[in-house]
Structure 1
Amino acid sequence: MTSAFTITSLSFERTTPEQQKPPGANQEGPFDARGADWRNLQLGEIDLSRARLCRIDLRGVDLQSCRLEGTDLRLARYDSHTIWPEGFDYRSCGAIGPQAKLNGAFLNSADLSGMNLEGASLMGAYLSGANLSGACLRGARLAGADLRYALLRGALCEGTRFMNCQLDYVDFRCAELNNVDLSGAGSIRGADFSGAIYLDGLRASLLGRPFQELDCWNPLTRRTTRESLDG
């Protein structure tokens, strides 16, 4: 007589990259912490060479004693409180933060809300549908960027350069537009400027745009660009 049984489930508890904590001293091989949240950690002397840290949150992290040779930091987040190793060119490593060099980067639909992008270079970047609400874009260079359908609600855009940008359906509601020149924007069709700060100096030039742009209905905010400027 034989007996049989059915295995209904078989699972092993595995740590996903998003849950990975910094490696210990005996960690061997490339470390994977993609998308992890390491905010405000003091890492000490850790070898992160060739580690996969794309999309990781490094805001407020002390990395000054870490080894970062060949580390994948694409789309990692940092801020002015992140401490990098001496001589490490964090601006050009593909990470996102102040002074970052992200020309031509693909950031479509990225959630960048509240990020500090002061002085960042995003010329020709693909930011359509990105959420930049509350972000600091002071002095950022966005010439030629695709910002269609992007959210810039409450964003600080002081001195931001929008030359030749595609701004169709951008949500500028309550954004701060001090010292911003939008006259060279490629298009503002359907953009909403309701409640934007420092709009008075821009209103006349924006109302001089073609009627196809000004009288375009924004399905999200339910008003035309002209109505948002007149309000």
Structure 2
Amino acid sequence: MTFLDSKLQLSNWIPSEQVRPESLTGPVKDARGADWSGLVIGSIDLCGALLCRVDLRGSDLSACSLEGADLRLALYDSNTTFPEEFEIRSTGAVGPGARLNGSFLNGADLRGMDLRGANLMGAYLSGSDLSGCLLDQVRLVGADLRHAVLRGAQCCGARFGGCQLDFADFRGANLSDASLDGAESIKGADFSLTSGLQEQCELLLSRPYEELDCWNPLTRKTTRDSLESIE
């Protein structure tokens, strides 16, 4: 390839985040990080395409070919449609019913995601933003949620056994029937304005003082103060 050819190719280059479905042609189909939410994509060959982190919420991919596509961390919801018999839940994509055991989601922006029915056992979610997420009945056993943000999240019946919750921000979350008593640590976590946690408060307040009296520099409260405020 000559210098002139290389320069010409670069002038036609489009970042993967801006790639539209209809422009995916050639041997390398790269749309990593693109926003395809709400699109009717039509009959497009996406076999082997790089679709990591693509936002597919509300999209119609029912006519697409998706064999071998890399969908890790792609976002989908209950309104996303896929081809018949295509199993999205085991692809590494994030959405309702996703099988994400042990997945690395550190620092992920998952605000407002519907994760009901997902399996997040042992997932790495430290520093992730789960504000407003639907996490009802989700299994988070053994997950790393240190410094995670769960403000306003719906966590009814969620299981936090063995979780690391250091400095997690649960302010305003719904924790009705959630199980936090088996958490590995709640050091510096803030439970201010949560609902459904009253019955577990006494048990949580019996945890070691190293956890309860730790100051959260973000919310400017200790874990003890946040728990006592909801009694």
TMscore range, shorter length? over 0.9
Supply the distance in 2 between the matched residues of 1:213 and 1:50 (Cα, whole angstroms): 47
Secondary structure of 2:203's counterpart equals helix
Q: TM-score, normalised by structure 2?
A: 0.92
Match of 1:151 in 2: 149
In the TM superposition, what are the counterparts of 1:15-164 in structure 2 within 5 Å? 15-23=14-22, 27-164=25-162
2:196 aligned with 1:211: no
Residue 225 of structure 1 corresponds to: 223
> Which AA in structure 1 matches 2:211?
E
Mark the runs of 5 or more structure 1 residues left unpaired by the alignment. Answer: 1-9
* Equivalent in 189, 199, 207 of residue 201 of structure 1: 199
Partner of 1:4: none
TM-fit CA distance, 1:214: 0.7
Deviation at 1:12, TM superposition (A): 2.3
- The alignment partner of 1:170 has SS state of coil
Structure with the higher helix share, 1 or 2: 2
TM-score normalised by structure 1 residue count: 0.92
- Kept in 2, the 8 Å contact 1:146–1:166? The answer is yes
SS in 2 for 1:23: helix
Say what the alpha-carbon RMSD is for the aligned residues.
Answer: 1.4
Measure, in 2, the Cα distance between the counterparts of 1:106 and 1:42. Answer: 30
* Shift of residue 13, structure 1, vs aligned partner: 5.0
Tell me the amino acid that sits aligned with residue 163 of structure 2: C
Contact persistence 1:23–1:31 (CA under 8 A): no
Q: For residue 181 of structure 1, report the CA deviation from its aligned partner.
A: 1.1
Quick one: which amino acid aligns to residue 44 of structure 2? I
How far did 1:29 drift? 2.2
Aligned to 2:5: none
1: distance between equivalents of 2:215 and 2:183? 19
Match in the other structure for 1:176: 174
Instruction: Note the residue ranges of structure 2 that are not aligned, 5 or more in a row.
Output: 1-7
The CA deviation at 1:44 is 1.6
| Separation in structure 1 between the aligned mates of residue 196 and residue 159 of structure 2, nearest angstrom | 15
Task: Give the distance between the partners of 2:203 and 2:115, measured in 1 at CA.
Answer: 27
2:137 alignment partner AA: G
AA matched with 2:99: K
Quote the Cα distance in structure 2 between the aligned partners of 1:43 and 1:126: 32
| 1:42-87 alpha-carbon deviations (Å, 9 max, x no partner) | 1121110000100000000111111011000000000000001111
CA distance in 2 between partners of 1:205 and 1:79 (Å): 36
- Once the two structures are superposed, residues 8-33 of structure 1 have per-residue CA deviations (whole angstroms, 9 ceiling, x without a partner) of xx972521000000125x93323111
Percent identity, please.
59
Work out the CA distance in 2 between the residues paired with 1:127 and 1:27.
Answer: 35
CA apart distance, 1:195? 0.3
Shift of 1:157: 0.3
- The aligned length equals 221
Distance 1:13-1:29 versus aligned 2 partners, 3 A rule: closer
